[in-house]
Chain A
Amino acid sequence: MSQAVTVYVPRDSAARAVGADQVAQAIAATARSRGLELRIVRNGSRGLFWLEPLVEVITPEARVAYGPVCADDVPALFDAGFLCGHPHPLGHGPTEQIPYLAAQQRLTFQRVGVTDPLCLADYQAHGGWQGLNRALAMSSDAVVDEITRSGLRGRGGAAFPAGIKWRTVQQAQAARKYVVCNADEGDSGTFSDRMIMEGDPYALIEGMTISALAVGAHQGYVYVRAEYPQAIAVLEEAIARATGAGWLGADVAGSGRPFRLAVRKAAGAYICGEETAMLESLEGRRGMVRPKPPLPALQGLFGQPTVVNNVITLATVPVILARGAGFYRDFGVGRSQGTLPFQLGGNVRRGGLVEMAFGLSLRELLEDFGGGTRSGRPIKAVQVGGPLGAYVPEHRWDTPLDYEAYAAMGAMLGHGGVVVHDDRADLRQLARYAMAFCALESCGKCTPCRIGSTRGVEVIDRIAATTGERRERQLQLLHELCDTMVHGSLCALGGMTPYPVLSALEHYPQDFGLAAGGPQRPRGERHEAV
């Protein structure tokens, strides 16, 4: 071979969790022992997690994929000629033609798994900094307009229009302003923030820089959960390199304007994913939820106007600036414009990252992408939107995945997490878990959440332990308790924990010892206030 072949072995945590480091070592060692020259790039993950570790080789025709590869497979891969893209039982042909990937619309995730995450030249070669360069040539008003017209809404779960938030901060008069990235991705069943931070950290840095220039902030923070040590390490290195190259610091890209960025490590409190609790935590205090108003956009970090956006929201900003608001808005349906990186996890055969325009159905995600359960048993329940999301029963799987359609059926898309359970799932246990998790993670500021969640666990236990009229009374009590939590809680933790609980009760009454199709209390107005 005249030229060193390039081999990709992901360094994404989920690839490392199934042996990617050992595979990379085995490939390097085998090449050495056979006198072959090759270059190993530790890329992000393509998000096809059932195929991880997914090894790719650059051939003259395409990047060719093999997976799931374990270290013991490596000698046989060499024997088969994988460095030339030759067939092998673990081979999948050109990566981009794997149906799971080919069917996707990757905008936010365009570079994840493709590039060397920390290589600035690679970032630039794959469209990096185009958004920032365009923003630098525009007025800050025009940048905010562009974001507003793109229809981008907060991808952390609340779906608030990003442009309106930015405009509020931009127009606020203050000596100091901040941009804070909420990377406390605590929702179980979600991992898209982690994949961006590990796999394309400069996209987040670029998005935050565009935001800072637009609103007039000079300092930014990324608040990353402690459970993501690798994301923290990659981001810190990326910030150092971007600063060294002049993309961050006293003079952003020669614009004369400063923007500095720092990573702050969270400390394992789920509630700090709520924006005001996160700000408290960044200020060095207990993560207690603040009442709103004042809005963080006006009085946020250290009392100053602050943009608080999730990782995916900010990492989507560069592509919007680079390709234009119209390009982005053309994806999606209704008021849910653009794409959402769905995360397919739990008991699913082909779990992974699926970035698609809003409007596809849960059935397409579960069946076409997911391929059913990993256990091979029937799917019983699917929780959409993290631990505060509803369990969506099969007769609702054809509803389009968009913010409004989901809200209308008393569910939510949240951060795009989809967790699959097979027919062994006990929905009473899962409902009880939702209440117990809320009790564990409540900041304690408001009573409905702090006390209600503990009472919720007790009531669910009593439903299981009683019969007849006494059980009816407990059911009534659970509904009333959930009403109180929905309407009386200060934030979404107490306010939405009833979603999984009531959806479990409504759609899986048999798991609570009730006759299916038996008397159900009308749903009432519980969803209207949220």
Chain B
Amino acid sequence: MSHALNEDDARTLASLIEDHRAMPGGLLPLLHRLQDQLGYVPDGALSSLAQAFGLSRAEVHGVVSFYHFFRTSPPARHLVQVCQAEACQACDATALMTHAHALRDAGPAGEVDVEAVYCLGLCASSPAIMIDGQPHGRVTPQALSRLMQALEKVT
């Protein structure tokens, strides 16, 4: 289902298109900027993007959906990424993920997104997580509780 963008978002998109349409391979940098500014890549942006880059709407959808990083719905207020790759698995990251889900479910809805990532490059400091872009290493369940409970106080 495609909703038209509201006026502000449409203006943001138009200015980003202006900045990126002449850039070689500019679609990905544009999508990053769009997500930085709106929090996600709205469905309503796809037609304008397709037109600007001489692609079909399906092709733009194909690009957006290919990459794990792009989200197509508004995010929660905070993002907790828990590494689930081998080095972190070796240090109990599977249990840490379960704990993160429980903490999320215990809090208000829409507050925290928890997602798995596969390597944050902190493999000698496992298990590792990232909260709103900030890295944390050697994370115990107690530390995770503290970090996630502190999020609820930040608005």
Contacts and interface: CB of A to CB of B under 8 A. Distances in A.
Given A282-B25, A343-B123, A437-B118, A14 B86 contact: no
A421 B28 contact: no
A387 B66 CA distance: 21
Nearest to B65: A286
B123 A346 contact: yes
Interface in B18-58: 24-29, 31-32, 53
Nearest to B26: A284
A204 B94 CA distance: 35
A419 interface: yes
B137 A14 contact: yes
A282 B70 CA distance: 16
Contacts of A56: none
B69 A190 contact: no
B69 A226 contact: yes
Contact of B122 (A14, A269, A353): A14
Interface residues of A, number: 60
A305 interface: no
Interface in A178-192: 185-191
Contacts of A421: 86, 89-90
A433 B89 contact: yes
A134 interface: no
A348 interface: yes
Contact of B119 (A18, A186, A374): A186
Contact of B124 (A50, A268, A422): A50
Contacts, number: 154
Contacts of B100: none
B138 interface: yes
B89 A284 contact: no
A346 B93 CA distance: 11
Interface in B84-137: 85-91, 117-126, 128, 130, 133-137
B3 interface: no
B124 A343 contact: yes
Given A49-B124, A264-B29, A17 B135 contact: yes
B68 A49 contact: no
A115 to B, nearest CB: 20
B14 interface: no
B72 to A, nearest CB: 13
B121 A185 contact: yes
Given A14-B137, A284-B26, A287-B66, A187 B125 contact: no
Contacts of A190: 119, 121, 123
A437 B86 CA distance: 11
Contacts of A437: 118
A346 B90 contact: yes
B76 interface: no
B122 A387 contact: no
Interface string A162-197: 000000000000000000000001111111011000
Contacts of B124: 14, 49-50, 191, 343-345, 348, 351-353
A344 B31 CA distance: 35
Contacts of A383: 86
Contact of B28 (A284, A345, A351): A284
B37 to A, nearest CB: 15
Given A17-B137, A189-B86, A345-B126, A228 B121 contact: yes
Main secondary structure of the interface of B (DSSP, over half): loop
Given A346-B87, A419-B87, A188 B70 contact: no
A216 to B, nearest CB: 18
A43 interface: no
B114 to A, nearest CB: 16
Interface centre among A18, A228, A433 (most CB of B within 10 A): A18
A227 B125 contact: no
B45 to A, nearest CB: 15
A281 interface: yes
A267 interface: yes
A449 to B, nearest CB: 15
Nearest to A263: B29
Contacts of B123: 188-191, 343, 345-346, 351, 417, 419
A141 B119 CA distance: 39
A453 to B, nearest CB: 14
Contacts of A266: 69
Contacts of B119: 185-190, 227
Given A16-B135, A265-B29, A343-B124, A430 B66 contact: no
A425 interface: yes
Contact of A425 (B24, B70, B90, B125): B90
B87 A188 contact: yes
A330 interface: no
A181 to B, nearest CB: 15
21 contacts: A13-B135, A14-B125, A14-B135, A16-B135, A18-B125, A264-B28, A267-B67, A268-B117, A269-B69, A281-B28, A283-B24, A286-B66, A345-B124, A346-B126, A351-B125, A353-B124, A417-B123, A419-B87, A421-B90, A430-B86, A437-B118
**What are the nearest 6 A-B pairs in CB distance?**
A351-B124, A345-B123, A188-B85, A267-B67, A17-B137, A268-B69
Interface of B: 24-29, 31-32, 53, 62-63, 66-70, 85-91, 117-126, 128, 130, 133-138
Given A269-B69, A285-B27, A343-B123, 5 more contacts: A52-B125, A188-B88, A189-B85, A264-B28, A346-B88
